[in-house]
């Protein structure tokens, strides 16, 4: 039996599983998933975890499992909360220039584990840091295998060509009235605007890996299907691969340049100390800025595609000269704490410390007292916090 009665709550998004995988090795527990897609992914890719993975259709089923297994703590890789027992947020995307960190919901967790100082400063700027119950800066466990040189992968290509990785964020339809941060009708994704153009303008002597976000199939456009047809119709499969996977790290390791947009993968890429290019989702509006609350803060670290003629030119120039290395490394060390391969250890120790403070309380008393605490936090969040932060 595991030493700790804990659970991991994962939605139907395979990209939420790698951070859970890192912690499972140190803190084994139940895995609650909300969709057939991720259940099948675990069954095929990580069968060793299948015997502790449960498919739940609603919060009632989830809470029933918590009670049956005497779960005292739930670890969340995304902004969800069952409002029962201890709640720990570990994030699936580390640091991102999307506005998740400025969400008022961050005040409803017992422990927030940040990846670096940038995340803390973004939350502080939103007037929320002092309203979080407890938080620590631990680093980014997803990249521990790269940092401690244990990362293993199979090469995507069997040729000697240089390789570019294109990793766009998911396509989200912009809500009416969203002006300050989301000018594009596709949210912050460059995929609808630049996806086909990047395929068409990649130099002939260059490989291209397109790592799709796992949510790109959920609306917006069928651009990913158009890209698949283009590769097939032009017999480009030997040097262009379109990939759906949960973990981008092995594909980053094989690339000399990455192209992205407004995504956590931009900060993740900084681990490799290689050039980055940003595909602008709305060229008439977006530009690089040193404002950490902006969604283009990371754009200070690379060149920006604003026109299709920029694509091949910027790829060639960045393979020749890394002009943004100094700024990129500056922001890397600001945003990601101590990349030493031990972030998962620090994460696990913080969670154990919280758990141990509650492990000897009789479970029935613990469960219902935590329920009352969550109800109280919900009222505090809506009656107090909303009044003192900038919406």
294 to 65, 176, 361: CA distances (angstroms):
40, 20, 44
Helix, strand, coil share (%) of the chain residues, nearest 5: 45, 15, 45
Nearest to 227 by CA among 218, 237, 214, 219: 237
Structure tokens at 233: 């119709």
Model confidence over 286-319: pLDDT tens digits? 999 999 988 999 999 999 999 999 999 999 999 9
Gap between the Cα atoms of 121 and 101, Å rounded: 10
Coil, helix or strand at residue 162: strand
Query: Is pLDDT above 60 for 390?
Result: no
Gap between the Cα atoms of 162 and 302, Å rounded: 19
Q: Can you give the pLDDT at residue 175?
A: 53
Q: Can you give the pLDDT at residue 27?
A: 95
Q: What's the chain's average pLDDT?
A: 90
List the beta bridge partners of residue 303. 277
120: Cβ contacts below 8 Å, ≥ 6 apart: 114, 129, 135, 137
Model confidence over 83-139: pLDDT tens digits? 999 999 998 867 877 777 888 888 999 999 999 999 999 999 888 999 999 999 999
Over residues 7-24, mean pLDDT: 89
Q: What DSSP string describes 85-107?
A: SEEEE--SSSS-SSGGGG-GGGG
Query: Is pLDDT above 70 for 176?
Result: no
Instruction: Give the domains, in start order, of the chain with CATH numbers.
Output: 6-144+340-388 (3.40.50), 162-335 (3.40.50.2000)
* Of the listed ranges 9-18, 171-180, 227-236, 297-306, the one predicted with least confidence: 171-180
Gap between the Cα atoms of 372 and 353, Å rounded: 22
How many of the other CB atoms lie within 10 Å of CB of 98? 18
Model confidence over 229-271: pLDDT tens digits? 999 999 999 999 999 999 999 999 999 999 999 999 999 999 9
Structure tokens at 372: 């009352």
Q: Is 10 exposed, middle or buried (0-12, 13-18, 19+ CB in 10 A)?
A: buried
Over residues 319-328, mean pLDDT: 98
Q: Using an 8 Å Cβ cutoff, are 241 and 211 in contact?
A: no
Q: Can you give the pLDDT at residue 307?
A: 96
185 to 172, 188, 196, 259, 261: CA distances (angstroms):
8, 8, 18, 20, 14
248: Cβ contacts below 8 Å, ≥ 6 apart: 167, 211, 265, 268
List the beta bridge partners of residue 208. 164, 240
Structure tokens at 367: 């469960």
Q: Using an 8 Å Cβ cutoff, are 164 and 256 in contact?
A: yes
Q: Can you give the pLDDT at residue 343?
A: 96
Banded model confidence at residue 218, pLDDT cuts 50, 70, 90: very low
Gap between the Cα atoms of 275 and 325, Å rounded: 7
């Amino acid at each position: 039996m595991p030493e700790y009665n804990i659970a991991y709550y994962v939605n139907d998004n395979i990209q939420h599983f790698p951070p859970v995988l890192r912690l499972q090795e140190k803190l084994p527990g139940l895995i609650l998933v909300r969709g057939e897609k991720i259940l099948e992914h675990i069954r095929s890719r990580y069968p060793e975890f299948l015997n502790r993975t449960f498919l739940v259709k609603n919060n009632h089923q989830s809470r029933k499992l918590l009670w049956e297994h005497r779960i005292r703590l739930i670890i969340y890789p995304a902004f969800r909360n069952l409002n029962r027992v201890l709640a720990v947020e570990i994030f699936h995307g580390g640091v991102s220039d999307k506005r998740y960190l400025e969400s008022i919901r961050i005040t409803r967790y017992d422990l927030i584990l940040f990846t670096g100082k940038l995340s803390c400063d973004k939350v502080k700027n939103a007037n929320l840091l002092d309203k979080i119950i407890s938080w620590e800066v631990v680093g980014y466990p997803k990249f521990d295998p790269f940092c401690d040189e244990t990362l293993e992968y199979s090469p995507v290509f069997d040729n000697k060509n240089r390789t570019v990785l294109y990793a766009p964020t998911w396509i989200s339809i912009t809500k009416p009235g969203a002006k300050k941060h989301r000018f594009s009708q596709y949210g912050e994704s460059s995929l609808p605007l630049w996806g086909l153009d990047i395929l068409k303008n990649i130099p002939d002597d260059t490989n291209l890996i397109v790592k799709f976000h796992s949510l790109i199939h959920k609306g917006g456009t069928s651009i990913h299907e158009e890209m698949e047809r283009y590769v097939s119709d032009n017999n480009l499969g030997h040097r262009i691969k379109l990939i759906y996977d949960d973990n981008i790290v092995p594909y980053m390791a094989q690339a000399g340049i990455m192209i992205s947009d407004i995504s956590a993968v931009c900060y993740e890429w900084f681990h490799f100390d290689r050039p980055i290019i940003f595909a602008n989702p709305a060229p008439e509006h977006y530009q690089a800025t040193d404002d950490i609350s902006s969604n283009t803060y990371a754009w200070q670290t690379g060149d920006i595609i604003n026109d299709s003629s920029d694509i091949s030119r910027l790829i060639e120039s960045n393979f020749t000269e890394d002009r943004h290395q100094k700024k990129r490394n500056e922001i890397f060390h600001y945003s990601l704490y101590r990349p030493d391969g031990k972030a998962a250890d620090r994460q696990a120790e913080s969670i154990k410390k919280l758990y141990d403070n509650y492990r000897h309380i009789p479970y029935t008393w613990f469960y219902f007292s935590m329920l009352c605490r969550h109800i109280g936090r919900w009222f505090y969040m809506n009656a107090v916090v909303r009044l003192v932060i900038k919406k």
